[in-house]
Amino acid sequence: MEYTHRRERRLPPELLRKILNCFPSPYQTPLDEDAFLDLMAFSMVCYEWYNVARWLISDMVLKEHFPRLINSSGEKLRRFAALLSTSRTLSLGYTTHLTNSIITFEFGIDIDLQDRDALFKIADLGAPMRLRIIVEYSERRSSPSLDRELFLSRLSQHCSHIPGLELYFPRKRGSNHVRPPSDSPHLANFVRSMHSTLSSININDEPDAMTRAALSSCPNVRVAAFRRCNPRSVWDMLCGSRNLREITLCRLFDPVGTGVEDDDSSELGGDDDDTTMALSGTEILFKRLSFICMNFEVLEITSMRSVAEETSRLAMALEILVSCSRRLKRLSLSRVQYVDQRVIQAVAQHCQELESLEVHLTGVAIMWDEVTPSWPRLRNLNLSADRFGPEFVEQIVGPCDALQMLRLKSTSVWNPREALERRGFRLVNGQWER
C-alpha cells in the first residue's frame, strides 16, 4: 500500500480503532514476533497509522524484539529485513534501533541462502556494533572451504565496517587441552578487511595461526576479551594494539610442561640469572602487557590457575602489571589463585584512579592492617576473602570517602554491621550502601 500523508486518504476513526483492536496490547500481553511484525507493517500505511502504531511498539518494545528477530530464521527473519528496508525508504527511523545489535553467522551449519541475504540486508541498513562468527567444522559438506570462501567474500562487502567482532572457535568437549584449529585463510582475509574499523574483539577458544596473525594487524583495538585461549596466542593477537583500554582474560589455558626460555627476557627487564628460567605463557603475557598497560582503564582476570612452583612468579608478574596500570578505573581479580598480599598492596598503592574493585581471594590470608589504599574515587568495592576483621573497616573502608557500595563475603565470624553503620552504611539486599 502506498505510504502517504495526504489527508483525503485517512480512514474514519472508528475503522482505525477496529483495526487496532485486532492487535494485542503490549502493555497487557507481551507481543509475539508475528504480532510485532504486523504492527510494523501497520505503521507503514501512512503517517497517521505510524503515530498510532509507535504508541503500541515503543522504544522499549523495539529493544526487546529486534535482537530476537535478528537471530531468528525463515519467514520471520526475511519479513523483518524487508520491513526494515521499507522503513529506511520511508525515513521512519526503525533502523536506528539496530545500533547495539549482534549479527550471528555460524559456519558448518546449513543456513538458507535467503536467510543469509536477509542478514546481509540488515547489516547494510543499520549500524550493528558487533558481528559474531561461530566457527564449526562440518563433515557433511562436500566443499566447506569453498562455501566459506564465497560466504566470507560476501560478508566482507556488507560487514567490514562493523567495529566489534566476536569469534568462537571449536574445542574438545570434556578436555582441558586446546585443539589448535587448521588454518583458515578466508577468515583471516575477512579479519584483515576490518582492520581499520575494528575496535573491539572477543575471542573464545584457540584461533588458528592465520587468524591470529590477521588480528595482530588491527591497530585500533581498544577493547579485547579472551576466553580459553593459550596466553602466548593472546599476546600474538595483541602485539599490534597500542590503543588498548580494556582487557578481559578468562580461563587462559597454559599447558603444563610447556614453559620455555623467554626470548624477550632482556626486553622485559629480567635479571641475567633469570634468562634460562622456563617461564609459563601466563607469566610472559603479564610481563609483556606491563609495557602497553599505561592507558588501561579496565582489567578483568578471571578463573586463572597455576601449579605450585609457578605461583610466586605469577604473583610477581601480576604485581608488576597492576603497578604499571595506573589509570585503571575498574579492576576485577576473580578466582585467580596467585593473588597475594603483594598484589593487593600494589593495587592499593598504584591504582589511584579506581572507581570499581572486585577481588575474590582463594585460600590467601590478607593482613589488611598492612594495606594502605589510595582510592579517592572508589565507589564500588566487592571483596571475598577467608577473613575480615575490624582492621579492614578502619584501614580499607575508612579512607574511601567516595565509597557508595560494599559487598563482603567471608567465612569469618566477625560481623561488620556495627563498624559499617557507624560510617553511614546500611545493609540493602545483601550489600552495604551509603
pLDDT digits (tens, 9 = 90+) for 324-348: 999 999 999 988 888 888 999 999 9
Q: Which residue has better confidence, 30 or 74?
A: 74
Whether 411 has a pLDDT exceeding 80, the answer reads no
pTM here? 0.81
Whether 424 has a pLDDT exceeding 80, the answer reads yes
Query: pLDDT digit string (tens) for 120-146?
Result: 888 877 666 788 888 875 444 444 555
Whether 150 has a pLDDT exceeding 80, the answer reads no
Whether 375 has a pLDDT exceeding 50, the answer reads yes
24 assigned to some structural domain: no
pLDDT band, very low/low/confident/very high, at 26 (cuts 50, 70, 90)? low
Mean local confidence (pLDDT), 14-26: 72
Q: Can you give the pLDDT at residue 6? A: 44
Considering Cα of 182, then 183, then 186, then 191, what sign does the dihedral take? positive
Residue 350, SS3 per DSSP: helix
Query: pLDDT digit string (tens) for 68-106?
Result: 888 788 888 899 989 988 888 888 878 877 776 788 777
CATH number of 289's domain? 3.80.10
92 assigned to some structural domain: no
288 assigned to some structural domain: yes
- Domain total of the chain: 1
Q: Can you give the pLDDT at residue 330? A: 97
Nearest to 262 by CA among 242, 244, 282: 282
pLDDT band, very low/low/confident/very high, at 318 (cuts 50, 70, 90)? very high
Query: pLDDT digit string (tens) for 162-205?
Result: 889 999 988 755 544 445 567 778 889 889 988 888 999 999 99
Whether 260 has a pLDDT exceeding 70, the answer reads no
214 assigned to some structural domain: no
Full 3-state SS string of 223-247: EEEEECCCHHHHHHHHCCCCCCCEE
Whether 39 has a pLDDT exceeding 50, the answer reads yes
Q: Can you give the pLDDT at residue 245? A: 96
Q: Can you give the pLDDT at residue 351? A: 94
Q: Can you give the pLDDT at residue 109? A: 55
354 assigned to some structural domain: yes
317 assigned to some structural domain: yes
Nearest to 167 by CA among 104, 120, 216, 230: 104
Spell out the alpha helix ranges (H) of 325-414. 341-350, 390-392
Query: pLDDT digit string (tens) for 394-410?
Result: 888 888 899 999 998 88
pLDDT band, very low/low/confident/very high, at 259 (cuts 50, 70, 90)? very low
Q: Can you give the pLDDT at residue 271? A: 39
Extended strands (E) in 121-254: 130-134, 164-168, 200-204, 223-227, 246-250
Cell numbers found for residue 50: 505510524
378 assigned to some structural domain: yes
291 assigned to some structural domain: yes
Nearest to 230 by CA among 247, 252, 261: 252
Which residues constitute the domain of residue 365? 245-256+277-434
105-109, 226-230, 281-285: least confidently modelled range: 105-109
Q: Can you give the pLDDT at residue 226? A: 96
Q: What's the Rg (C-alpha) of the chain?
A: 27
* CA 84 to chain CA mean position, Å: 27
